[in-house]
């Protein structure tokens, strides 16, 4: 079961990498854009937080930001509350590239994500829930 789950995760990640490259991004660049956009509201997009979310070292994250900044995808801004701290934000070009890849990935997950869910379900030992169709969910009971 674990082998199947790992296979499905690797397949998903490999497809994500391919989608990023097709959009002109390196996979790590896409993941950084995704991390900036997907941070919890209470977490600031500092280099430290982004490095943590990406599982990278601080200097590797800085290098990644440098490359994306040179492509006009992100910008650095000094935190007005603490001038020593640098915040990273998406620029319109970065937002557009992120949405392009993410939209494609979400569509592919809707079409083929069942295998990944099944593999996770098998490992966790859950029985799949029966989903109500829209018709069933809106029908009134007598």
Domain ranges of the chain: 2-122
Between 111 and 48, residue with greater pLDDT: 48
DSSP assignment letter at 77: E
What are 13-19's contacts with CB under 8 Å, separation 24+? 15/105, 15/108, 16/101, 16/105, 19/101, 19/104, 19/105, 19/108
Summarize pLDDT for 36-87 with one digit per residue, the tens: 999 999 999 999 999 999 999 999 999 999 999 999 999 999 988 888 889 9
DSSP assignment letter at 46: B
* Average pLDDT, integer, range 89-101: 97
- Closest-CA residue to 28 (of 61, 1, 2, 6): 61
| Residue 117, pLDDT above cutoff 80 | yes
Q: What is the dihedral of CA 48, 54, 58, 59, to 10 degrees?
A: -150
Would you tell me which CATH number, out of the four given (3.20.20.80, 1.10.3470.10, 1.10.10.10, 1.10.940.10), belongs to the domain 2-122? 1.10.10.10
pTM: 0.80
* Average pLDDT, integer, range 76-105: 93
Q: Are 36 and 74 a contacting pair, CB within 8 Å?
A: yes
Phi, psi of 56 (to 5 degrees): -115, 165
3-state helix, strand, coil in the chain (%, to 5): 65, 10, 25
The pLDDT, as a whole number, for residue 141 is: 45
Summarize pLDDT for 118-142 with one digit per residue, the tens: 888 999 987 666 555 555 555 544 4
């Amino acid at each position: 079961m674990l082998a199947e789950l790992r296979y499905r995760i690797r397949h998903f990640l490999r497809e994500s990498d391919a989608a990023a490259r097709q959009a002109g991004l390196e996979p790590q660049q896409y993941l950084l854009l995704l991390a900036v956009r997907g941070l919890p509201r209470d977490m600031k997009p500092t280099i430290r937080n982004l490095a943590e979310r990406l599982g990278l070292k601080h200097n590797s994250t800085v290098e990644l930001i440098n490359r994306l900044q040179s492509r006009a995808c992100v910008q650095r801004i000094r935190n007005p509350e603490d001038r020593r701290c640098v915040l990273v934000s998406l620029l319109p070009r970065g937002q557009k590239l992120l949405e392009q890849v993410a939209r494609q990935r979400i569509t592919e997950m809707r079409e083929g994500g069942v295998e990944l869910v099944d593999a996770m379900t098998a490992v966790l030992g859950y029985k799949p829930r029966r989903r109500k169709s829209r018709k069933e969910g809106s029908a009134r009971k007598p």
